[in-house]
Chain A
Amino acid sequence: MDSSKLKELEALAHRIRCHIIELLVEAKSGHPGGSLSGVEYGVALYFHALRHDPHRPHWEGRDRVIWSRGHVGPVIFSLLAESGYITMEELLTFRKLGSRLQGHPTTKCPGIEVGTGSLGQGLSVAAGLAIGFRMDGKGNRVYCLMGDGETQEGAVWEAIMCAGHYRLDNLCAIVDYNNLQIDGWVEEVMGLAPYADKWKAFRWNVLEVDGHDLEQLARAYETAAQVKGRPTVILAQTIKGKGVSFMENVAGWHGRAPNAEEGRQALVELGCETEGCLIRGMP
């Protein structure tokens, strides 16, 4: 990746963090922690790895993105808005009556392939898509975005087993490995370690990256696309609440929206005030 492309992605990541805060304040509910930790791998996917055309959301040749971690609507819809699937104005309707941007994403919103929100369901859907594309000899790739906590669901391991068994190399899972879930540290709530070994034992190719390093993420997506005979999981080490000091590594910010004052503080910290990336303005 050249430096101008990297600068472009960094600017996108910055804008998306600002959108996340702005639309959470507007909605008065939602999930900041996992949205902020998922910014970089989302940006590297939508603006580097993904084959898609936001103006033709049903284009047959598109790669598919399954947001198994459906609760991170703020980052999902911000990525879709920056990509051009929806407008910035619509972004502010998140979680409001009649909006296409439901509390957890649905197919009403362009760019959303399937409704999600009940955790642990996306990887099976992604595996089904990957099997279907392979049956037809199609080159579409399938990406499944997951949280670390959600892999405590037993059905996730059915899907991991299935994708490994069928050697679905057109499938790439990304785990936001931020180590935090609602009840506390993942390792204390229900430990996942040795996490990479578990995926490997189920016949997956495992890539461990710094989930806030855009270059590492871009390379990981490129590598995943080259690997043959195995699905790839990118374990993205992240910080929950990344970018807002008082939200970082605090479990309480999993599912609580900042109020106007907290939102203002977060946006000032992010440097929004001077950079003009607000949709409506300071809360």
Chain B
Amino acid sequence: MTMDVRATRDGYGDALVELGEKDERIVVLGADLTSSTRASSFAAKFPERFVEVGIAEQNAMNVAAGLSMAGKIPFVSTYAVFVTGRALDQIRTTVCYSNLNVKIAGAHGGISVGADGATHQALEDVAITRSLPNMTVIVPCDYYETKKAIVWSAGHVGPCYVRFGREPVPVVTQPDSPFTCGKGYVIREGTDLTILNNGPLLKQCLDALDLLASAGISARLVNLHTVKPIDREIITRAAKETGAIVTVEEHQVQGGFGSAVAEVVVQAAPVPMRFIGIQDRFGESGTPEELFAAFGLTAEDIAEAAEDVLRAKD
């Protein structure tokens, strides 16, 4: 099967332009990364609604807070690693505590940022943002899902963090497939275990299904874009019906999506779990493919984790 390949950040840029055309309240903030976050199309089309703040993420966040208080729907566009690191106190104490209508776009999420290395690879942002009251956290898997997540976030009143990546990834979803915040969906049915994916490693998950099928293992694949609020129902059903779970994310395994799933599993239906993600390490320079292999994020790694969790199941 050949798939169209597009960067999730392009979904962000295209969604902003669509939103900007429909709603005067949409404003976008740039922090000297306007082109690489793909906010540039919006900036070119609606210069009067684009606010450049320079290399100053803390100010960007609270200028967005102020804009939201003036009735605007601001999107802060910068790298995930800077916005959730530098501006964390602003996100926590100004945006989330006062439940302000600020949208935070975390670009260049994950290790697939590649050659820039660890300083620019956001691997902790999901853990940080999902710990904040009032915050919604979404990690879309592809171009269309990113677009839909951004459009959804503009209509939602309250703080929202949407994380997307730099590199082109296979387009798995359809332009018209439904997007419901907080709801996952089954991509393929299976009975022996469930792979729960969050974010752009979905293609690797699909390839892992093929590897497992050839070994006679029937795995269910669920895509869950929303980390918070987490879809308890689909996770509980997966645990009860298949008896084992592997989570997949391009993020540290501590505190991120896998942890969010585990918090549900241990309370609702304890079953063995394995966690595909970054294992408490910083990233490094390399191509995305090299890094996926070096950090255990390939289809083979997912299939191995699946076989391992099946052994624990028995």
A124 lies within 8 A of B90 (CB): yes
Residues in A neighbouring B285, C-beta threshold 8 A: none
Shortest C-beta distance, A233 to chain B (Å), equals 16
Give the CA-CA distance A268 to B24 in the complex, in Å: 57
User: Are the C-beta atoms of A124 and B66 separated by less than 8 Å?
Assistant: yes
A127 lies within 8 A of B66 (CB): yes
The reply on A113 being an interface residue by CB < 8 A is yes
Q: Bound complex: CA of A122 vs CA of B74, how far in Å? A: 17
Which residues of chain B in 158-199 are interfacial with respect to chain A, using CB atoms and an 8 Å cutoff? none
Indicate if A54 sits at the interface (CB-CB under 8 A). Answer: no
Cβ of B4 within 8 Å of any chain A Cβ, yes or no, is: no
Tell me the residues in window 198-240 of chain A with beta carbons closer than 8 Å to chain B beta carbons: none
A192 CB-CB contact with B under 8 Å: no
Which has the most chain A C-beta neighbours within 10 Å: B59, B72, B98, B100? B59
* A-B Cβ contacts below 8 A, count: 104
Contact A125 B94 (CB under 8 A): yes
B89 within 8 A of A: yes
Q: Which residues of B contact A114 (CB under 8 A)?
A: 65, 69, 94, 98, 100
Contact B67 A132 (CB under 8 A): yes
Taking A117-B93, A133-B70, A158-B58 as contacts, is the C-beta distance between A124 and B98 under 8 angstroms?
A: no
Q: Is the CB of A131 within 8 A of B67?
A: yes
The reply to whether the CB of A115 lies closer than 8 angstroms to some CB of chain B is: yes
B66 touches A126 (CB 8 A): yes
Alpha-carbon distance A132/B69, docked complex (angstroms): 8
Question: Which of these, A107, A113, A121, A154, contacts B93 with CB under 8 Å?
Answer: A121
Q: Which of B45-53, B123-131, B144-152, B231-239 lines the interface with chain A?
A: B45-53
Taking CB atoms, residues of chain B closer than 8 Å to A113 are 69
B62 touching A124, Cβ below 8 Å: yes
CA distance A118 to B49 in the complex (A): 29
Q: Are B63 and A115 in contact, with the CB atoms below 8 A?
A: no
Whether A124 and B63, one on each chain, are in contact in the complex, defined by CB atoms closer than 8 angstroms, is yes
Is A107's CB under 8 angstroms from B98's CB? yes
**Which of A107, A129, A158 is close to B66, meaning CB atoms less than 8 Å apart?**
A129
Given known A-B contacts A114-B98, A118-B93, A125 and B56 have beta carbons under 8 A apart: no
B209 to chain A, nearest CB (A): 47
List, in ascending order, chain A residues with CB within 8 A of B97's CB.
106, 115
A113-153 interface code vs B (CB 8 A; 1 in, 0 out): 11111100110111111111101100000100000000000
Q: Is A260 an interface residue (CB 8 A)?
A: no
Does B260 touch A at the CB level, under 8 Å?
A: no
B62-104 interface with A by 8 A CB criterion: 62-72, 74, 89-90, 93-94, 97-100
Contact between B69 and A64 (Cβ–Cβ < 8 Å)? yes
Closest Cβ–Cβ distance, residue B108 to chain A (whole Å): 22
For B52, the closest partner residue in chain A by CB is A165
A161 at interface, CB cutoff 8 A: yes
In Å, the complex CA distance between A122 and B65 comes to 10
Q: Does A9 contact B (CB under 8 A)?
A: no
Question: Taking the nearest CB of chain B, how far is it from the CB of A145, in angstroms?
Answer: 15
A186 proximal to B (CB < 8 A): no
Q: Is B201 an interface residue (CB 8 A)?
A: no
Tell me, in angstroms, the Cα distance from A101 to B58 when the chains sit together.
27
Q: Are B56 and A162 in contact (CB under 8 A)?
A: yes
How far, in whole Å, are A189 and B60 apart by their CA atoms in the complex?
A: 28
Residues from chain B with Cβ under 8 Å of A50 in the complex: none
Whole-angstrom distance from the CB of A105 to the nearest CB of chain B?
10
| CB pair B71 A161 closer than 8 Å | no
Known contacts A107-B98, A130-B66; is-contact A124 B51 (Cβ 8 Å): no
A270 at the B interface (CB under 8 A): no
Q: Is B15 an interface residue (CB 8 A)?
A: no
**A114 CA to B64 CA in the complex, in Å?**
13
Instruction: Given A135-B27, A158-B59, check contact A128 B89 (CB 8 Å).
Output: no
Assembly CA distance A133 to B97 (angstroms) = 23
Asked whether B61 is an interface residue with its Cβ less than 8 Å from the other chain, the reply is yes
Contact, CB under 8 Å: B94 / A131: no
Task: Give Cα A159 to B93, complex, Å.
Answer: 17
Nearest-neighbor residue (CB-CB) of B93 within chain A? A118
Least Cβ–Cβ distance between B33 and chain A, in angstroms? 16
Task: Please measure, in the bound complex, the distance between the C-alpha atom of A135 and the C-alpha atom of B48, giving whole angstroms.
Answer: 7
A-B contact pairs, 13 of them (CB 8 A): A121-B94, A124-B59, A125-B94, A128-B68, A128-B69, A128-B70, A132-B67, A136-B71, A154-B58, A155-B56, A158-B53, A159-B62, A162-B59
**For the complex of A and B, 5 pairs with smallest distance between CB atoms:** A128-B66, A132-B70, A124-B62, A158-B59, A128-B63
Given A64-B69, A154-B58, 16 further pairs, Cβ under 8 A: A115-B97, A115-B98, A116-B94, A124-B62, A125-B62, A125-B69, A128-B67, A129-B69, A131-B51, A132-B27, A132-B70, A132-B71, A155-B59, A158-B56, A159-B62, A161-B59
